[in-house]
Structure 1
Amino acid sequence: MNWKTQLRLSTLVLVLTYTMIRCTTVSKPNDYQNTELSAEERATDLVAQMTLQEKVSQMRYDAPAVPRLGIPRYNWWNECLHGVGRAGEATVFPQAIGMGATWDTNLMSEVATAISDEARAKHHRFVKEDKRGIYQGLTFWTPNINIFRDPRWGRGQETYGEDPFLTSSMGVEFIKGLQGDDPKYLKLVATAKHFAVHSGPERSRHEDNYQTSDKDLHETYLPAFKAAIKEANVQSVMCAYNRYRDEACCGSNLLLTNILKNEWGFDGYVVSDCWAINDFYMEGRHGVSATAPKASALAVKSGTDLNCGDTFDPNLSEAVLKELIDEEEVDQALIRLMTARFRLGMFDDESLVPFSEIPYSVVASEKHLGLSRQAALESMVLLKNEGNVLPLSKELKSVAVIGPNANDKQSLLGNYHGTPNNQITPYAGIKAKLPNAEVRYAKGSDVATGWPLLSLIPAENLQSNGKKGLSAEYFPNANWEGKPSISRVDEQIDFVWMKEKPIKEMVSDTFTVRWSGKLIAPESAKYRIGFRACNNAKVFIDGEKKIDFNDDHKPVMKYYDMDLKEGQAYEIQIDYYNFHTDPQAQLLWAKLDEDLLTPAKQIASESDVVVLCLGLTPDIEGEEMPVVLEGFDSGDRSDIVLPAAQRKLLNEIVQIGKPTIVVLMNGSAVAVNEAAAKVPAILEAWYPGEFGGEAIADVLFGDYNPGGKLPVTFYQSVDDLPDFKSYDMSNRTYKYFEGTPLFPFGHGLSYSSFSYEDVKVSETSAGENMTVSATLSNTGAMAGDEVVQVYVSHKENNPDAAIRTLVAFERVHLGAGESKEVSFEIPAERYADIDEDGKRIKESTRLRLSVGGKQPGMEGLADAATTSVVTMDVEIK
């Protein structure tokens, strides 16, 4: 027996001995069940009755049951970024960046309330069915309030944009809507993530060490988190993967102890990003801890209470026994976790918890679907409308809808999405809008060179026992064992099981499917065979495993490229394993190097108008992805231009000479310089949710007047950007960028026009609130929304100050010819300059203030500007 084995056996003996001692010293067994006590008192009593091993087991995300204390198993991992994610049917709203583009805090509150209604209803149904797995709880790892400082970051789509105040405002309303306003019980627990200096690159996030000035830290990276705690009372914070100032964020005394707890008074719990604690000690990563027990001790002592991962259990027990950490520190961490569970009502009769009465019928209800439609409409940003080419006439005889995003359902959803009942693409939306016109569709190009758009493999290309399709066997277990509950032929593998699982008598969510048969290509070529799933699956071709999923917790598509010969039958087998509530499976393919351009040019030449749907997809931009293509790197982008395949498509279509409208669908800013120069109109639609295509059609044909504004700067080139790994804010975002943007932060056109008059600023002394008011008028012929934006600048007094800073905004609806007074009370904390130490300078000064529907000084960047700006100097006495 070697020394390592002896050490582990000795440790095990100590743990078991300690457990037996603790089990004999139980006191006050019923206090934690007393609903008259506070949640913290109940949590403290419950933790006092637990053994060390039991405590540690409750500090991992998939906490097991403790039957002797009546603690059911609980999985802390849930997502609801723009709708309840990965838990069956749900209303899917626009991706977070699209919500940011609405600049509508009231809408944000309504959306979050709808999401939390659906989450509560789902959870109580799950509990009644004794389902307590991943994505079935009440603690949600949302929202992402990191600052989208660089358009290359693939996860920027999850944020509300590049501005700290806009992000703070939207995040606060979202958190409030999730957590509810009951004085005793939380509706959900929201989680502000990722604390704190975190926004890519994805490839190196497990090893990077970022540095910033105190000014950048307090001006850019911390405000949204501070607002989440101080204004929204968020109950959970997720720490980031990377290091900041040499400390791992999940083991940072500066971030978690000094700032979060001591300075801001945060009294909730901190959860690690998933497997982030492993990065403390794994080779080639942070190297801040030598072993897993030391990493566990460092994380908990610094303030991380919950481990998404497998480091704490059992290593935290070993850390206590080796006196690397006191058990009292473990107790305090667990008390915070159990306090949250008590505040959610998890140990109380449902009759006492008001949110338990929310009926399941709210899920994907007409009210919520209507809200998703409204959010999609408000997220639309009209970037260009030269010659007022938009809105288009509904009397058009023919329209060509072209592009890789024109009829792609995935491009509606973005990442971290739920499973919608509707997926209305731009092609479907335009076709429904013009029932009497000829509306035709063509892909036109791949999304990017080397990344074709895959489609379902048709039934005629699948064969089983002489029938079209694949033989399917469905088993009510995890191992494809015994006699299948269902045996049939599935013509296509295209399943999203939501309200009912394929085996109706099942109680558990666990089931398996085996599809088998032959794959037959219609012509000889190289093909990409793809499989999309949200669980575990393997695809075998001619007996060899070609695609392998490894318990993925999110919908992903994996693929294999191979040469297929015309008419030859290839044996195919798919083993699919479902273990939670979002089962889906699709068998897809595409012929590589297919001529997609010729048919697109053909329908364009035969149509009155071309709608060109371009952009990106969540399959190539997102969180730490195995995608390396020209312009793309592991979920991020290495270039910000439109992919080359789409640029070629754009140029070829424009040369045909038909009126061409570009619709962008993407999660981050794209340098569409050629489109800006060559087409008369560009509409930014983001990843717009389940009604995205309908909203796009409503805007294009004038049934809705666009009012969204950019929450990020659209740069002209990657050459405009600093090093991706530099977190210095110099020359970043609208606040510090010294170049000329393609489209500026805050930009967005309308079919109407708006003017500002009678702008007034109150006499203000240093440290006092400032009041700003103006009369806003809709001077156009169409009702519409205007986003009033107030900026201040200290640049004349301080060369190191931001060029300008957003300090107030409001989205206002006005009828044609209508006027309204808008007024803002702006706290000194918000309009004050900030020094190099990160402190707000509240003293007499002179600042420049602007009120309007965009940033000042950007008039030459947008054709047919539809809003104005009033600028003035203001003395702070």
Structure 2
Amino acid sequence: MNRIIKKLPERILISACFLLTSHSHAETLPFQNQSLPVETRVADLVDRLTLEEKVSQLFDKSAAIERLAIPEYYWWNEALHGIARAGKATVFPQAIGMAATFDEPLIYRIASTISDEGRAKHHEFLREDTNAMYGGLTYWSPNINIFRDPRWGRGQETYGEDPFLTSRMAVNFVKGLEGQDPTYLKSVATLKHYAVHSGPEVSRHSDDYAASEKDLTETYLRAFEDTIAATNISSVMCAYNRVNGSPACGSEALLQNTLRDKFNFSGYVVSDCGAIADFYDENSHHVVDSPAQAAASALKSGTDLNCGDHHGNTFSYLIEAVAEDLVEESDIDQALTRLLTARMKLGMFDNSSTHAYTKMPMSVVGSKNHLELAREAAEKSMVLLKNDGVLPLKRNSKIALIGPNADNPAILVGNYHGTPVQPVTPKEAFSQALPSNQIGYAPGSSITENIFTHFSPVPSSVFTHVNMQGESKPGLVAKYYPSSHFNLQPSKRHVEMNINLKSEDIPFNKASNQEFAVRWTGKITPQESGNYYFKMKNVEVYLDGELTDESRYLEAGRSYDFKAESLIRRFWHSNVIEPEISFNWLIEDKNLDSEALRVAKESDVIVFVGGISAELEGEEMPLEIDGFSHGDRTNIKLPESQSSLLKALHKLGKPMVMVNMSGSAIALNWEDKNLNAIIQGFYPGEQTGPALLNLLYGDTSPSGRLPVTFYSSVDDLPDFKNYNMVNRTYKYYEGTPLYPFGYGLSYADFRYDKLKITRSEKGLNIATTLSNKSDISAQEVVQVYLGMPDAPIRTPQRELVAFKRVNLAGGESQSVKFTINESQLVYVDEQGQRQPYKGKLLVTLGGGQGVKRSDNVVQHSINLP
């Protein structure tokens, strides 16, 4: 109460000044007055709040302040490669696939499209009076950590291993998300995870990573620094791990001295979810002893917003921290000012929101133009790794489409994704494009061990129920309950033929964020005996009263009591927006390889779609099997189930094309030596199928380039937890890569003329002539690398400094020019300082580094005095 009384005169003064200068808006409070500067509005709002109210706003689930008509707000939202976890939205290639395009304007267009859909969905939620997690405008994307080790399962979320490529992708993505309006933010972009964060997943809450000043400047912080310098980025997320002894979310060196003082970052910092609780958790960092100390440490170091998960809201202890003099209320005001500034710029405190972003219609979500952009991005993201002439495929060839990813929806989306609007797997695309007698399909194997991909919905033919007259009828009795438990009477009861419901199929009048429950009862009578594997989404299944795990033996003709229950709840890990519910199965006892061999024998060409999926690699997963551990990988081999099948198919003597789907490098050593063609797909989005067909049949020439090095194995790489950059990435790897960073083939024959290099005040002017010697129209990704062999310390053997896409028709030539700025003609010393380079400078320009393939690059050297 005393605090409120002390602030009263200042409030009266602000209100009085406002009344004297703005009579037309006398009915509003200053923070609601759109004609006032944002700084004034934010200051007024902060001043009106009690300490308890202030602290309530520093949590990802910010509480409503009813006396000021401020609604609750969920800060947590995702937009990594499309609006995620908020129902249907266009799904673009995973971030690593976007990086493989090496196409800056394309990334901007994708991000602008994502923010269009985000704005449309957000305002639709508001019209429905819905405040929902994943319904806001503050996106925790992009992930610009450096993919330094192929074992990291979350590397798929990044733009690869090179800081320069990463920053160029990030700059365009941020600009597309945040928009170009001089007054309003279209949405908030968040650079994550700051910093020195790239696995292992299993120990990220307790690991302390040592990084030298050189490696920090040269590798781990560069993309953050460059992106912040080129944009007015609104937000940064700090990481779970410690860096040189301090938790990343409690590091004054990282957050204050570097991020704010050196990089001039002016936005807000949000913690990774649960990261602040790791400060005191005995099984995590445990660098302090209490939640209040953890909250104070994070806040004073520069973390403004706490994302909590199963730990709860550690920042709620800031009230206790103030009482114990661990922090000042002014520290809380500073954090709150940063947060409210972002919300104010998003238009969230405007009485009348009339700017253009508020008028984005829902019709843009999954529109024809957006799906065409998704297809274009998918085409540009795929990388042709090998081709002996078998590609493009002949139109009249009979195709054997084989492999566990040929009809696997998971490979379309990767992780952190929404619900695709028009997902098309390779099998679906082939089936739509070719007559039935020209295509044969077989999954051929599991994706690895007993993890299968070829599930199908449990058919209606096996379900029955007894009606009110005691008669056995097809289908299951479904009862829908208006909340997330079964204590109330069902609001709807009817018969459903099976459990395979899209959100639009759910016969229940619910708001976008409403919890509900469903129970199905009846009998299930399998028509074939075997060991059944089950895949369930948002549902638990009981057979004869026993909860069903992932597999069970079922006997043909035997009727089992069947019950299934679905609880749609608002938890941080759950999505109540446009939920889908499904119960799928397959019989493990099928002889998959013999069926694949039969189909292959009847074909002219074998197209094998394999690899892995985000169900094997990803974020802190429980899975632990051969090759995979908690989301990371313990080796980078192709799983044995696929490798053995490929070798059996190869013995047939048929031409073979492999399409490898993964978010990380696979050691395709045998495949490179023995198969006719290999295409790499980095979870290419919902239009994977049509894009792949266009590449296979030559309607589009492949143009993607690898954003990571493909190694032959991880045996000669440093330990996964070792963050020293020696022998890592294309810059420092001392061995011979299977496929180098920047590598990728084309159907066209591109050739480069000699380099012309001149020095000017701006730096180096580089020019060459690029010619397309073929009759195929195609795009080439022209890359420029520099080497500094005369530097007094270890420097990258070569480093990407520029790139651009060039489109050339068959027989066409074009002059290609680059200017390399003086700021790029430097090396980083052991103290992390940039020093001007003097001596021989090696310049490589072409379709790659000149490693593995030297016929498509030109090289020259110049002496820098």
Match of 2:820 in 1: 826
C-alpha displacement at 1:20, in angstroms?
A: 7.8
C-alpha displacement at 1:420, in angstroms?
A: 1.4
RMSD of aligned alpha carbons: 1.9
Match of 1:216 in 2: 215
C-alpha displacement at 1:350, in angstroms?
A: 4.4
Query: How far apart, in 2, do the equivalents of 1:364 and 1:341 lie?
Result: 27
1:304 aligns with 2:303: yes
Query: How far apart, in 1, do the equivalents of 2:6 and 2:756 lie?
Result: 69
Match of 2:26 in 1: none
Bigger Cα displacement from structure 2, 591-600 vs 338-347: 591-600
CA contact under 8 A between 1:807 and 1:831: conserved in structure 2?
A: no
Query: How far apart, in 2, do the equivalents of 1:689 and 1:517 lie?
Result: 38
> Where do 1:333-344 residues align within 5 Å?
333-344=335-346
Gaps of 5+ in 2: 16-28, 467-471, 571-575
1:807 aligns with 2:794: no
Q: Counterpart of 1:487 in structure 2: which amino acid?
A: R
Change (3 A) 1:431 1:22: farther
Query: How far apart, in 2, do the equivalents of 1:349 and 1:468 lie?
Result: 54
Q: Given the alignment, which residue of 773, 782, 786 partners 2:767?
A: 773
1:571 aligns with 2:571: no
Q: Given the alignment, which residue of 315, 322, 335 partners 2:317?
A: 315
Match of 1:528 in 2: 533
Query: How far apart, in 2, do the equivalents of 1:72 and 1:645 lie?
Result: 53
CA contact under 8 A between 1:23 and 1:51: conserved in structure 2?
A: no
Match of 1:415 in 2: 415
C-alpha displacement at 1:523, in angstroms?
A: 4.0
Match of 2:861 in 1: 873
Q: Counterpart of 2:554 in structure 1: which amino acid?
A: L
1:703 aligns with 2:699: yes
1:488 aligns with 2:494: yes
CA contact under 8 A between 2:611 and 2:662: conserved in structure 1?
A: yes
> Where do 1:49-68 residues align within 5 Å?
49-68=48-67
Query: How far apart, in 1, do the equivalents of 2:629 and 2:195 lie?
Result: 23
Query: How far apart, in 2, do the equivalents of 1:593 and 1:166 lie?
Result: 47
Query: How far apart, in 1, do the equivalents of 2:208 and 2:473 lie?
Result: 58
C-alpha displacement at 1:516, in angstroms?
A: 2.4
C-alpha displacement at 1:157, in angstroms?
A: 0.7
Helix, strand or coil for the counterpart of 1:720? coil
Change (3 A) 1:507 1:445: closer
CA contact under 8 A between 1:405 and 1:665: conserved in structure 2?
A: yes
Helix, strand or coil for the counterpart of 2:562? strand
C-alpha displacement at 1:608, in angstroms?
A: 1.0
Q: Given the alignment, which residue of 489, 493, 518 partners 1:513?
A: 518
Helix, strand or coil for the counterpart of 2:819? strand
Match of 1:463 in 2: 464
C-alpha displacement at 1:393, in angstroms?
A: 0.5
Q: Counterpart of 2:755 in structure 1: which amino acid?
A: V
Match of 2:392 in 1: 391
CA contact under 8 A between 1:450 and 1:629: conserved in structure 2?
A: no
Helix, strand or coil for the counterpart of 1:237? strand
Change (3 A) 1:433 1:530: closer
1:596 aligns with 2:598: no
> Where do 1:679-698 residues align within 5 Å?
679-698=675-694
Match of 1:562 in 2: 552
Match of 1:325 in 2: 327
CA contact under 8 A between 1:292 and 1:311: conserved in structure 2?
A: no
Match of 2:349 in 1: 347
Bigger Cα displacement from structure 2, 783-792 vs 20-29: 20-29
1:449 aligns with 2:449: yes
Change (3 A) 1:569 1:796: farther
Bigger Cα displacement from structure 2, 773-782 vs 436-445: 436-445
Helix, strand or coil for the counterpart of 2:196? coil
Match of 2:573 in 1: none
1:748 aligns with 2:744: yes
Match of 1:424 in 2: 424
C-alpha displacement at 1:207, in angstroms?
A: 0.7
Query: How far apart, in 1, do the equivalents of 2:723 and 2:457 lie?
Result: 42
Match of 1:184 in 2: 183
Match of 1:712 in 2: 708
C-alpha displacement at 1:128, in angstroms?
A: 1.0
Query: How far apart, in 1, do the equivalents of 2:696 and 2:741 lie?
Result: 22
Q: Counterpart of 2:593 in structure 1: which amino acid?
A: L
C-alpha displacement at 1:175, in angstroms?
A: 0.3
Q: Counterpart of 1:147 in structure 2: which amino acid?
A: I
Helix, strand or coil for the counterpart of 2:495? strand
C-alpha displacement at 1:19, in angstroms?
A: 8.1
C-alpha displacement at 1:762, in angstroms?
A: 1.7
CA contact under 8 A between 1:763 and 1:876: conserved in structure 2?
A: no
Q: Deviations over 1:756-813 (max 9, x none)?
A: 1142212257xx5222121111111100010000000113544611111000000111
Match of 1:795 in 2: 789
> Where do 1:45-194 residues align within 5 Å?
45-194=44-193
CA contact under 8 A between 2:7 and 2:47: conserved in structure 1?
A: no
Q: Given the alignment, which residue of 822, 835, 845 partners 2:839?
A: 845
Helix, strand or coil for the counterpart of 1:792? strand
Query: How far apart, in 1, do the equivalents of 2:512 and 2:790 lie?
Result: 68
C-alpha displacement at 1:341, in angstroms?
A: 0.4
Q: Counterpart of 1:281 in structure 2: which amino acid?
A: Y
C-alpha displacement at 1:363, in angstroms?
A: 0.9
How many correspondences in the alignment?
835
Query: How far apart, in 2, do the equivalents of 1:62 and 1:415 lie?
Result: 23
Match of 2:19 in 1: none
> Where do 1:611-650 residues align within 5 Å?
611-650=607-646
C-alpha displacement at 1:21, in angstroms?
A: 6.5
Q: Counterpart of 1:480 in structure 2: which amino acid?
A: F
Query: How far apart, in 2, do the equivalents of 1:593 and 1:437 lie?
Result: 27
1:762 aligns with 2:753: no
Helix, strand or coil for the counterpart of 2:550? strand
C-alpha displacement at 1:230, in angstroms?
A: 0.9
Match of 1:377 in 2: 379
Q: Counterpart of 2:605 in structure 1: which amino acid?
A: V
Q: Deviations over 1:561-612 (max 9, x none)?
A: 3333333333332221224213011112233454211101110011111100
Change (3 A) 1:678 1:18: farther
Q: Deviations over 1:366-401 (max 9, x none)?
A: 111111111011111100001x110011112x2110
Q: Deviations over 1:668-726 (max 9, x none)?
A: 11111111111110011221111101111111111111111111111001213211111
For normalisation by structure 1, the TM-score amounts to: 0.92
C-alpha displacement at 1:24, in angstroms?
A: 7.6
Helix, strand or coil for the counterpart of 1:259? helix
Q: Counterpart of 2:410 in structure 1: which amino acid?
A: Q
Match of 1:671 in 2: 667
C-alpha displacement at 1:459, in angstroms?
A: 2.2
1:255 aligns with 2:250: no
Query: How far apart, in 2, do the equivalents of 1:769 and 1:118 lie?
Result: 41
For normalisation by structure 2, the TM-score amounts to: 0.94
CA contact under 8 A between 1:105 and 1:170: conserved in structure 2?
A: yes
CA contact under 8 A between 2:827 and 2:837: conserved in structure 1?
A: no
Change (3 A) 1:834 1:508: closer
Match of 1:555 in 2: none
Bigger Cα displacement from structure 2, 134-143 vs 841-850: 841-850
Bigger Cα displacement from structure 2, 600-609 vs 510-519: 510-519
CA contact under 8 A between 2:347 and 2:353: conserved in structure 1?
A: no
Query: How far apart, in 2, do the equivalents of 1:508 and 1:425 lie?
Result: 30
1:403 aligns with 2:390: no
Q: Counterpart of 1:491 in structure 2: which amino acid?
A: M
Q: Counterpart of 2:63 in structure 1: which amino acid?
A: P
Q: Deviations over 1:256-289 (max 9, x none)?
A: 1110011111110000111111111111210111
Helix, strand or coil for the counterpart of 2:167? helix
Match of 2:42 in 1: 43
Bigger Cα displacement from structure 2, 652-661 vs 342-351: 342-351
Match of 1:655 in 2: 651
Q: Counterpart of 1:702 in structure 2: which amino acid?
A: G
C-alpha displacement at 1:48, in angstroms?
A: 1.1
Q: Counterpart of 1:755 in structure 2: which amino acid?
A: R
Bigger Cα displacement from structure 2, 820-829 vs 181-190: 820-829
Helix, strand or coil for the counterpart of 1:763? strand
Q: Counterpart of 2:697 in structure 1: which amino acid?
A: F
Match of 2:482 in 1: 476
Change (3 A) 1:132 1:598: same
